[in-house]
Amino acid sequence: MTNEASKAEASRLARKGASRRGASILELETIAARIRRNVLEICRQRGGYAAQGVALADIAATLYFDEMRPDGKGGFLDRFVLSNGHDAIMTYGALAESGHYLMEELKTINADGSWIDQSPIEGQLGFEITAGSLGQGPSQAAGLAWALRRQRSDARVYCLFSDGELQEGNVWEAAMFAGHQGLSNLCYLIDNNDMQASGPTGKIMSVEPVDAKFEAFGFKTRRIGGRDIAGLIEAFEEARATDDKPFVMICDTRLWDGIDCLQKALALAHFTAKDAVDWDEGLAEIEAGIERLEAKRNG
C-alpha cells in the first residue's frame, strides 16, 4: 500500500464509528461544576494546581463524558495523553466523577506514602505517559496516533498541553511529524491560559500566533473559549470530520474561571498553596451553582 493510500485508509478508519455520545449541554455543565467541586476538595488538603483544574473543568467534562468513546471494559477506546503533568488535577476530578477514582483516595494526594501523585506516572489509571518534563506529550501522542493508524485502529488520540510548552522545540518537531504524516486521528488541545511557572507566558516569551504556526505545519486549527461547551462540541465534531490532517484546539482559559469569588479574590499564581484560598467560600459557590443546574435539569 502506498503512503497516500495508507493515509486514505487511515482517514476512513478514524471516521469509522466516531461520533459524540450525545450528552446535553446542561448535563455537561453540571458535570463540569462537579469536577470543580472535586478539584477543590482534593487541593484543599495540601494545595495544588487548583486554578488550572477549575479552568479546565468544561473541557474535561466534554472530553470524558461526551467525546471519548468507552471501550466497554471500564476504560476508553480513544486515548488521552496529558503532557503538562500538573494539570493531572483536571483528570483526577473528572475520573472521580466517572467513578474511576474514589475521592477519599484522591484526598491523599502528595501525602507521605500515597500513590496519588501530583504529576502522575505512566500506567497510573487515566495516564498514558509519565509527564513532568514539559513539551514531550505532543511527540508521544503523535507517535501513538501513528502507531494506531498502522494497526488500522479507529481509535483517536487527544493530547492536552499548555501554552508555556510551546516554548519547547520538541513540540514543533512533533507538529512537523504529525502534519507530514497527515495524522487525522490526532487532536491537540492547548490550555492557553497565558500563565507559566515564572509568570505570564506572553511576557516571558510570546507564543502567538499559535493558530498560524500550527497551520504552517499542516494542521487544521480552531480557537475556542475553554468554557464554551457548545463551541467545544462543535470543535470536536470538526476534528472528527477532518480526514486529511491533524487538528489543534486552542482553548483560551483563565485561572479559576468558573468560581467567581476565587477568580476575583486571588492573584494569578501557577501553584495554589493550601492557606492561600478560602476553600469553603469556593465550595459554597459551586454547590449553589450545582443546585441551580440540577433544578434546570429536573424542571
Residues 33-71 have pLDDT tens digits of 999 999 999 999 999 999 999 999 999 999 999 999 999
In the prediction, which pLDDT does 18 show?
A: 55
pLDDT averaged over the chain? 92
Give the helix ranges, DSSP H, for 182-209.
Answer: 201-205
Q: Within a domain: residue 208? A: yes
In a domain, 84, yes or no: yes
| Range of the structural domain that residue 37 is part of | 3-112+125-298
The pLDDT confidence band at residue 267, using thresholds 50, 70 and 90, is: low
- Provide the residue count of the chain: 299
The H-assigned helical ranges of the chain are: 3-15, 25-43, 50-55, 57-62, 88-97, 103-106, 137-150, 169-181, 201-205, 210-216, 229-241, 260-265, 279-298
pLDDT class of 1 with cuts at 50, 70, 90: very low
Specify the CATH number for the domain of residue 186: 3.40.50.970
Residue 64 included in any domain: yes
Residue 118 lies in a domain: no
pLDDT over 90 (residue 187) = yes
User: What is the number of structural domains in the chain?
Assistant: 1
Residue 54: inside a domain: yes
Q: Is residue 120 part of a domain?
A: no
Q: Which residue has the cell 462537579?
A: 34
Give the pLDDT score at 270.
Answer: 78
DSSP3 helix / strand / coil % (the chain, rounded to 5): 50, 10, 35
- Position 214: which residue type? F
